[in-house]
Amino acid sequence: MSKKSLPASAAFAIAFLFCGHACFGKAGKKFIELGWDIPNTDFLRSNYRQMEEKAPFDGVIFKVEVKDSSGKTVRSEAGWDGRRWEREWFAGALADLQACRFRKFTDNFVRFNATPGDLQWGDDAGWAALCEKAAILAWLVRQGDCRGLSVDFESYGARQFQFTAGKGYSFLQTAKLARRRGREFIGAIASEYPDARILALWLNSINIKAGLSGDADVILATETYGLLPSFINGMLDGIPSSMVLIDGCEHGYYMDGRQEYLNAAGRMRQWGGPAARLVAPENRVKYRSQVQAGFGFYLDMYVNEVGNRYYFGPGENGTRLDRLRDNLAAALAAADEYVWIYGEQCRWWPMAMSDWKQQRVKESPGAGRLWEEALPGLTEVIEWIRNPVAAAQARIAVQKREGKLVNLVKNHDFSNKAKSGMLPEGFTVWQSDDNPKGTFSWDGSVGGGSAKAVKGSNGVFMQKHEVEAGQDYAVEARCLAMGGSICTLFVRWQSGDGQWARWEEDKTFVYEKNGEQWGRAFGVVTVPRGAGRLVILLAVKGQVGEDDVCWFDDVGLYRLK
């Protein structure tokens, strides 16, 4: 058995270069872009290839702008009223979407705002028209191979979801009507796109205060979005089992640190939490199974100047970009699937803006520049958080091409045996006290040298490395497992004085064979606070007899930052 012609790192890097953005699929968590540079379908059609190439996202929220039969512009961002739409008006927008051959942007959403938001809750004809509009947009995005609708309930016009006394209905009567309208609304969407995802910029997260109170209705009766929980209950009444709602929690703009995001996600998810308390008991099973926790993330926080309401300064012992990275990683970790990244004063692509937006952008610290110009390194930071394995492979490819790739593992190819004993040089061994009967040794007959384990019911080869918190590393190894061997690549942490630490940050990577005898494991880790040593463990379990044997080779540890 001979060594491979390429080490694992080179093979992974070359594979990444060839597969490009096609390596990103629909699985896993996703970043969605929204901003003042929101594209319409015509812009997407003309620019989607460049957008996918340059922007670190899994999708965009876009708007629809079409002409009605009289030549007047119809906008998805301003359709929340009783005026009717005709489906044929949207033929051009559908052609735009169908002309796009998205590869990286797998999750695109059409924006549907609650603007002008002046429908009366008892207006049957008006709500029928609105629901028909929702159905038309659902038809459009389904036929255009998009993921769903992004509903923004914010009151940019009238306050659709605020109860107003003196209109002939009590708060409870109005809430009952709002629930009916929510059921009609989601039913219209489901009639065209039953497995759509509805990415709302907020759901019950906007009314957490009411959910924490002893009597939610007392609070909701005076809140700007006090009727929204009833509308959401109606949506849950009519939601098909194939549909998912996402609470985009726009309050994520203000959150700082992992614990704040985790706390917010808990408030949205918990069975007895404040968001669930706003849900009718008969809908709580649906809520738990079909409503996701997501977050909004506001890039302007990291560009604005001191004194601005939306301002975050440098992180602890770092820069503003470091703080952005920490918070964005925390948001994605706490979210079920989606984080929407919002920006106003800069842009990812050149989009025409209204006069008042252009003036505000011109006067802002960002001044309408590209985000990468305003925050150098931002694209790489987002890509790193979005898909750290692919980002690490790309960095490795660059370092290798420049001759700067350094493997920190001593005796990484196991070409040397220790001067005394039977172990590979640079490695130690640990076995469980329960059954320390395995044989761990250096084998010079396989691959020009490898680590070998036989009858190891629970043991590891390991090597320790001094590290500092915040550093990024890629780790890899190869393994040939025979018989009942169960092998993994394991990374653990120790404090500077050698005590095991941060066990909750342990990482396990599996060996993938991809049709070959030898499996490859590759992963990425960031050194957590409180850790001073990174410990690589080539772990084996399940070996009982002499036929249960495995070999490890080509271990790699690469500093990426």
Closest CA to 149 of 231, 288, 32, 305: 32
Per residue in 7-54, pLDDT (tens digit) is 333 333 333 333 333 333 335 899 999 999 999 999 999 999 999 999
User: What is the Cα–Cα distance from 478 to 552, expressed in whole angstroms?
Assistant: 6
Amino acid at 481: A
CB contact at 8 A, 400 and 432: no
Query: Does position 494 have pLDDT exceeding 90, yes or no?
Result: yes
CA 141 to chain centroid, in Å, comes to 21
Q: How far apart are CA 377 and CA 384, in angstroms?
A: 11
Q: Is the pTM higher than 0.85?
A: yes
CB 81 within 8 A of CB 133: no
Cβ(511)–Cβ(42) below 8 Å: no
User: Can you read off the two tokens belonging to residue 82?
Assistant: 């009783």
Mean pLDDT of the 104-127 span? 97
**What integer is the mean pLDDT of 227-252?**
98
d(CA 299, CA 482): 50
What is the rounded average pLDDT of the residues 491-515?
A: 94
Q: How far apart are CA 452 and CA 443, in angstroms?
A: 6
Q: Kindly state the DSSP code that residue 509 receives in the 8-state scheme.
A: E
- Over residues 270-288, the pLDDT tens digits come to 999 999 999 999 999 999 9
Q: What residue spans define the domains of the chain? A: 25-386, 428-559
Whether the CB-CB separation of 140 and 192 falls below 8 Å is answered with no
Rounded-to-integer distance, Cα 74 and Cα 132, Å: 14
> Of the candidates 171, 174, 164, which has an alpha carbon nearest to the alpha carbon of residue 218?
171
pLDDT, one tens digit per residue, over 361-397 is 888 999 999 999 999 999 999 999 999 999 999 999 9
Average pLDDT, rounded, for the chain: 92
H-state helical runs in 414-558: none
**Angle (CA) 313 319 321, round 5°:** 90
Asked whether the predicted pLDDT for residue 348 surpasses 80, the reply is yes
What is residue 352's predicted lDDT score, i.e. its pLDDT?
77
Q: What is the pLDDT of residues 119-157, one digit of tens each?
A: 999 999 999 999 999 999 999 999 999 999 999 999 999
Provide the pLDDT for residue 336: 97
| Contact predicate 480/550, CB 8 Å | yes
Under the banding of pLDDT at 50, 70 and 90, the label for residue 316 is: confident
428-559 maps to which CATH number? 2.60.120.260
Which is it for strands 295-298 and 338-343: parallel, antiparallel or unpaired?
parallel
Asked if pLDDT for residue 351 goes beyond 50, the answer is: yes
DSSP 91-107: HHHHHHHHH---SS---
Q: What is the DSSP code (8-state) at residue 41?
A: H
The CATH class of 25-386 is alpha beta
